[in-house]
Structure 1
Amino acid sequence: MRAILAGGLVLGAGCTLTLAAWNDSEFAAGTFTASSFQIESSVNSGGAWLAHPTSGSAATMAFSAAGMSPSTVNYAPIWIRTTAGSLSGTLTLQGASNNNAALAAALTYRVVRYSSGSCDSSQFTAGASYLVGTSASTVPLTTAGAATAVAANSLSPTQMCFEVTMLASADNSLQGASVTATWEIKGTSDS
């Protein structure tokens, strides 16, 4: 009997043994950086480039617009480009806001995209790339324009020429009045 009990104790002791296991781990990480899209403008044909992200910091286009009278036409360029490291994108000209509705209603405009020459009447030909208006017609200042591309990494600026005309029918009561028209050129990245 003692031999059987001793055998049971030995068997019970053998059942409490635990098995050891080896383990090891590997970890992997990835770093993700968002791309950037930022545009800047030049109102002096590429002489100086600055960001103007709000209407309060708007670039001042160089119109010779003092002393406008009925049928007067004025021109001014603005060039837009992406900053270094930026994606390419699309620019869309929004209609102008203004601070004098009566005088703004007496002004019309059109805009072309151009690649060489000066921003003047020679840019507004039948074959020009019109963003606003056409070779035969101008539109109110509040009219938005067609979209156009802007290259990545500051490669080539998108050159726009604005033409603003006072209507021949402008009311006599507008003499001496002034208006500030502010256009937004909205940029959207391609990716």
Structure 2
Amino acid sequence: MTSVDQTRKRRKIRAVLASGLVLGVGAAITLAAWSDTVWGSSTFGTTGSDFDIQGSFDNGTSWDDYLSPATAGTMTFAQQADALVPGEPVYQLVGLQEVENNFGADIELSKDNADGSGLANLVTVAVADAGAGETAPACDASADFGTGVTIGAASTSMLSTTVEANGFRWVCFSAELAADATVEAGGLESQPILWEFAATSTE
């Protein structure tokens, strides 16, 4: 081997060794890479989405939840619903209020049960949407009543309406003994007629 060939061989070896040193430094940097961590924590609940519709059966003087048929509010009707006379309607105002101020609601009013007394086909009830103001409105013959149903009719949807979050809705009821009712209808009393105000929250 000539001296020139030996010189070239030594240069190649140095180049390979130099490459190895560079690779070695690179591997060392990779092994010493930075590390860091981010953590998150959350809790869950419903305290910010409370929803409560309350009712009033005394022109807004008092409000309560009335959550079941067993605790239903008493509807007495002005002019005494237990002293009906033929052709003379009596009236009852019912107030609804959303008290949590998170959601409004769609309201579906239904007559829940059918009367089986001698008054079943003689007493007709109709309802009217009486407005959304805070102050109790008038509830009388001037209200815009929908089609009435007898208290003997099967479960019936009577009215669809709404109430805003922290707002009010008033419903006026009319009940009337048929104008052609005879004295045989005197002294009778119906079963308790239940009215359901079913509220579904809306955004």
With the shorter chain as reference, the TM-score category is 0.7 to 0.9
Unaligned runs of 5+ in 1: 1-18
CA RMSD of aligned residues (A): 2.4
Q: Which residue is 2:105 aligned to?
A: 89
Counterparts of 1:113 and 1:67 in 2: how far apart (Å)? 25
Q: Which moved more, 1:143-152 or 1:72-81?
A: 143-152
Q: TM-score if structure 2 supplies the norm length?
A: 0.69
Q: Which residue is 1:41 aligned to?
A: 55
Q: Which residue is 2:139 aligned to?
A: 119
Q: 1:148 to 1:165 in 2, by over 3 A?
A: same
Q: Which residue is 1:152 aligned to?
A: 165
Counterparts of 1:117 and 1:151 in 2: how far apart (Å)? 17
Counterparts of 2:113 and 2:180 in 1: how far apart (Å)? 22
Counterpart residue identity of residue 152, structure 1? A
Counterpart residue identity of residue 62, structure 1? T
User: Following TM superposition, by how much is the alpha carbon of 1:29 offset from its aligned partner in structure 2, in angstroms?
Assistant: 2.4
Q: Which residue is 2:186 aligned to?
A: 175
User: Following TM superposition, by how much is the alpha carbon of 1:30 offset from its aligned partner in structure 2, in angstroms?
Assistant: 3.1
Q: Which residue is 2:68 aligned to?
A: 54
Counterparts of 1:185 and 1:120 in 2: how far apart (Å)? 21
Q: Which residue is 1:12 aligned to?
A: none
Q: Does 1:65 pair with 2:91?
A: no
Counterparts of 1:108 and 1:73 in 2: how far apart (Å)? 9
Counterpart residue identity of residue 102, structure 1? G
**Greater Rg by CA:** 2
Counterpart residue identity of residue 51, structure 1? D
Counterparts of 1:27 and 1:173 in 2: how far apart (Å)? 80
User: Following TM superposition, by how much is the alpha carbon of 1:21 offset from its aligned partner in structure 2, in angstroms?
Assistant: 6.9
Counterparts of 1:86 and 1:60 in 2: how far apart (Å)? 28
Specify the SS of the correspondent of 1:56. helix
How many residues are treated as equivalent by the alignment?
162
Counterpart residue identity of residue 26, structure 1? V
Q: Kindly provide the CA deviation profile for residues 50-89 of structure 1, in whole angstroms up to 9, marking residues without a partner as x.
A: 1101011010123121221322311010000111234101
**Higher RCO (C-alpha under 8 Å, 6+ residues apart):** 1
1:80–1:158 CA contact under 8 A, matched in 2: yes
User: Percentage identity across aligned positions?
Assistant: 27
Counterparts of 2:98 and 2:75 in 1: how far apart (Å)? 19
Specify the SS of the correspondent of 2:62. coil
Unaligned runs of 5+ in 2: 1-30
Q: Does 1:139 pair with 2:149?
A: yes
2:127–2:159 CA contact under 8 A, matched in 1: no
